[in-house]
Structure 1
Amino acid sequence: MSPKDAVPAPAGTGADAPAEPPVLRFEAVRKTYGRSLVLKAVDLDVPAHSVTVLIGASGSGKSTVLRCANLLEEIDDGAVFLDGAEITDPRADQDAVRRRVGVVFQAYNLFPHMSVLDNITLAPRRVHGVARKDAEERARELLARLGLGDKAAEYPDRLSGGQQQRVAIARALASGPRLLLLDEVTAALDPELVGEVLNVIRDLKADGMTMVVATHEMGFAREVADQVCFLADGVVLERGTPAEVFGAPRHERTRRFLSRIVEAGRL
């Protein structure tokens, strides 16, 4: 997919107006761990204000894609771009990149000795230099929006798993990221708590947040994704709309994967 195909030209600018680059682009990204080749040649475009969902078997590289996008892992070859600028260039300011990319992991990674409010405001205050008053005002707005307005003074171990994950999402949003990465954010939750977190992601999509989501929740992927990417053997083997990938997959490997998902009652 070319940049021109990924994002249409803005209305009223004419056919020759330059297309907006994807928010995130992977070009032939390769990543190994020791002798294990995890990403062989991953190509990926994530247009602005869209949700790209990564699916695939465990070990297919979904989490590695997200970690490379936030520079938590150093790629071995290829390039990653954020808003058209190569962030894997050795001269790139990695801290500046991470300030623009929010990440929410399967494990909540909240500081247990800090209140919810302090967990959310730590990065804006320490990294971005936001005044405490302003950081706390933003944090309280996010907590209220996520249904946690009365939890600011609580500590993580007094919250349910779903509440902790929503706090983790609030923390990722507190710095106003350009891109939000979510890595299996419901995998550690009891089934009755999954809906709480998925509702938050639906709301973020409605607000136009650009997101890349790695998930095993196929029903949710079918509902919320603008683009579904199936990873296998270190590449994006198939991509398309949910209707295309789930309804009429082109590759036999995709069909086998989805067949197992259906048999397990997860689609």
Structure 2
Amino acid sequence: MTGPVLSMTGVRKVFGTTVVLDDLSLSVSEHEVVVLIGASGSGKSTLLRCVNLLETVDDGVIRLDGEDITDPRVNVDRVRRRIGIVFQSFNLFPHLSVLDNVTLAPRLVHSRARASAEEHARAMLDRVGLADKASSYPDRLSGGQQQRVAIVRALMNEPRLLLLDEITSALDPELVGEVLALVGELRGQGVTMVIATHEMSFARQVADRVCFLDGGRILESGPPAELLDAPRDPRTRQFLRRIAGAYSSE
């Protein structure tokens, strides 16, 4: 497949009188990991929700493998089979076991046979060190384990694109590392990802490119060492100083 996996051109999203995405353009190549940074309200989560068609854009075009997925005639379910998304809240069903949580969508939405779905799920859980938790319920897992289950669920359909939205922000600090390690493994496997995060050290480790969002626009982007160590835009510098100050005061 030639061309970018994801292409966003002139995307605009407005909630009431608030412009959340303002003429935003972004391209993500196959196997590339793009990390979005910026203050709360800068548009990171809305960008991801628009890509996964959880929000309808007001203007602009989003293409997945060259297909215009913002076309109102598009089959939303078919598009979402090719995009995995994980949120900061785990969104696991508390009354279902880990195995049932992971296989629910493949079985009910994508009509996959239970035996096939469960075999695949057990293999995926084994890869992330949770094979022994298949029959456990979410309330018996740590936050880090629940988030790893949520990531496995998003990977069950082998998506072309994986979206991760502040997946460590709801975790206790000691549990963050195990989730970030898993994302690092996915990067090594060539999974194409767009990640919104406030973890600057993680952005440095995992990103091919970091994009700084402010006011619904990408003000600056570049390799992590370049953007995080020598940002050109004054707003990027201000944001990074504020982040560094917050961590140094802890």
Structure 1 gap segments, 5+ residues each: 1-18
Correspondence for 1:155: 137
Identity of aligned residues (%): 64
Correspondence for 1:203: 185
Correspondence for 1:226: 208
Structure 2 gap segments, 5+ residues each: none
Correspondence for 1:16: none
Correspondence for 2:46: 64
SS at match of 2:27: strand
C-alpha contact (below 8 Å) 1:123/1:175 kept by paired residues: no
Normalising to structure 1: TM-score of the pair? 0.91
C-alpha contact (below 8 Å) 2:97/2:138 kept by paired residues: yes
Aligned residue identity for 1:168: A
Correspondence for 1:74: 56
Residue 265 of structure 1: how far off its partner (Å): 2.4
C-alpha contact (below 8 Å) 1:39/1:234 kept by paired residues: yes
Correspondence for 2:95: 113
The question of 1:189 aligning with 2:171 is answered yes
- Which of 234, 239, 242 is equivalent to 1:252? 234
Cα offsets for 1:62-87 (capped at 9, x unmatched):
00000000000000000100001110
Residue 21 of structure 1: how far off its partner (Å): 1.2
Aligned residue identity for 1:128: H
Residue 234 of structure 1: how far off its partner (Å): 1.3
Correspondence for 1:136: 118
The question of 1:44 aligning with 2:44 is answered no
Dislocated runs of 4+, deviation >4 Å = none
Larger RCO of the pair (alpha carbons < 8 Å, separation 6+): 2
Cα offsets for 1:173-222 (capped at 9, x unmatched):
11111110000000000000000100000000000000000000000001
**Could you say what the CA RMSD is over the residues aligned between the two structures, in angstroms?**
0.9
Cα offsets for 1:101-120 (capped at 9, x unmatched):
00000000000010000000
Residue 244 of structure 1: how far off its partner (Å): 1.5
C-alpha contact (below 8 Å) 2:41/2:215 kept by paired residues: no
The question of 1:22 aligning with 2:1 is answered no
